[in-house]
Amino acid sequence: MSTRFAIEWVNVSEIHEDKDNPNSMNEEEFNALISEIKTHGFVQPIVTRKCNCEILSKEHRAIVGGEHRWRASQHPDIGMKEVPCIDVDLNDEEAKLLMVNLNRIHGKHIPLKLAGLIVDLNRKIPTDELQKRLYVSKEDLIQMMYPKAGESIKITNSLIKDHSKTQLRETQLFSIALTREQYDRVTETLAQVSKDQKCKKGEALVKVCRTYSEKMNGNDV
């Protein structure tokens, strides 16, 4: 069942954190959060619930998710008096379970897809500007663009639908991290072979490998 929550702007002084919140953020991450709020505003509401504890004497709310955003909103560079909140009607145990899950259940970047995305952005945005807008150091940006060797090659098995035979067949997805120059050369070559041989790029790659293998076996290298 999907619940529709209303967003309400609440004074920051009427909200307090949950002392049991296990989530933490280092200074670099917190500064990045402040910069992001300054740039794009408060785009993600804080999850709260009505609270009757003695931390605040007046009617108030306790944070279930979004403590760091609440803290960042009060930074001198932002100085928000009110923040957007959505209220959940939960008891203590349910609220703490939700707090843990909101902190724990996150996706993670696939290194190769992230690298491709960053490289593509870098084609349009100068490196220095991209670094600032992603709130990372130049070293971190390079690491994002060129993952560690252990993360750079990934092979996974999956089933795909072969529409020509209307049956499932097993295939493998092969990914490898390349420099921009290598990437451009490989894609241009595969595009040309694919065009000349009237085949898909995957088949073009196999043809290139087979040609090289045949030359090696024939000592024609």
Overall average pLDDT of the 134-146 stretch: 86
Which of 146, 161, 177 is where one domain is finished?
A: 177
pLDDT band at 38 (very low <50, low <70, confident <90, very high): very high
Over residues 49-96, the pLDDT tens digits come to: 999 898 998 899 999 999 999 999 999 999 999 999 999 999 999 999
Instruction: Tell me, yes or no, whether 14 and 98 share the same domain.
Output: yes
Residue 64: predicted pLDDT? 96
Examine the domain organization and report whether 79 and 46 are in the same domain: yes
CA distances from 52 to 71, 81, 94, 159, 181 (A): 21, 22, 16, 53, 61
Tell me the per-residue pLDDT of 151-171, one tens digit each, with 9 for 90 and over.
443 333 333 333 334 333 445
Q: What is the residue type of 96?
A: K
On whether residue 95 sits in a domain, the answer given is yes
User: Is 122 found in the same domain as 163?
Assistant: yes
Q: What is the pLDDT, as a whole number, of residue 217?
A: 79
The pLDDT of residue 46 is 96
Band (pLDDT 50/70/90 cuts) for residue 172 is low
pLDDT at 173 over 70: no
The interaxial angle of helices 111-124 and 138-145, nearest 10 deg, is 120
pLDDT beyond 80 at 176: no
pLDDT confidence of residue 3: 76
Of the two residues 150 and 125, the one the predictor is more confident about is: 125
In a domain, 25, yes or no: yes
73 and 112 both lie in a single domain: no
Domain match, 138 and 126 both: yes
Does residue 14 share a domain with residue 80?
yes
Residue 166 lies in a domain: yes
Whether the pLDDT of residue 185 is over 60: the answer is yes
pLDDT at res. 112: 80
Give pTM, 2 decimals.
0.63
Confirm whether 1 is domain-assigned: no
Question: Rounded to an integer, what distance in angstroms lies between the CA atom of residue 83 and that of residue 150?
Answer: 42
End-to-end CA distance of the chain: 65
Which residues on neighbouring strands pair with residue 51, listed in sequence order? Answer: 60
Same domain, 13 and 71: yes
For the residues 14-27, what does the mean pLDDT come to?
92
Residue 149 lies inside a defined structural domain of this protein: yes
pLDDT band at residue 45 under the 50/70/90 scheme: very high
Task: Say if residue 202 is in the same domain as residue 135.
Answer: no
Q: Does residue 100 share a domain with residue 12?
A: yes
- Ranges of beta strands (E only) in the chain are 8-11, 15-16, 46-51, 60-65, 82-87, 153-162, 167-176
Are residues 170 and 145 part of one domain? Answer: yes
Tally of domains in the chain: 3
Q: Is 49 helix (H, G, I), strand (E, B) or coil?
A: strand
Band of the pLDDT at 114, cuts 50, 70, 90? confident
> Helix, strand or coil for residue 167?
strand
Q: What CATH number is given to the structural domain containing 44?
A: 3.90.1530.10
- Res 152: pLDDT: 40
Q: Does a structural domain hold residue 73?
A: yes
Clarify whether residues 97 and 17 are in a common domain. Answer: yes
Q: Which domain holds residue 190?
A: 178-221
Q: Is residue 2 part of a domain?
A: no
- Please indicate, yes or no, whether residues 172 and 183 belong to a single structural domain of this protein: no
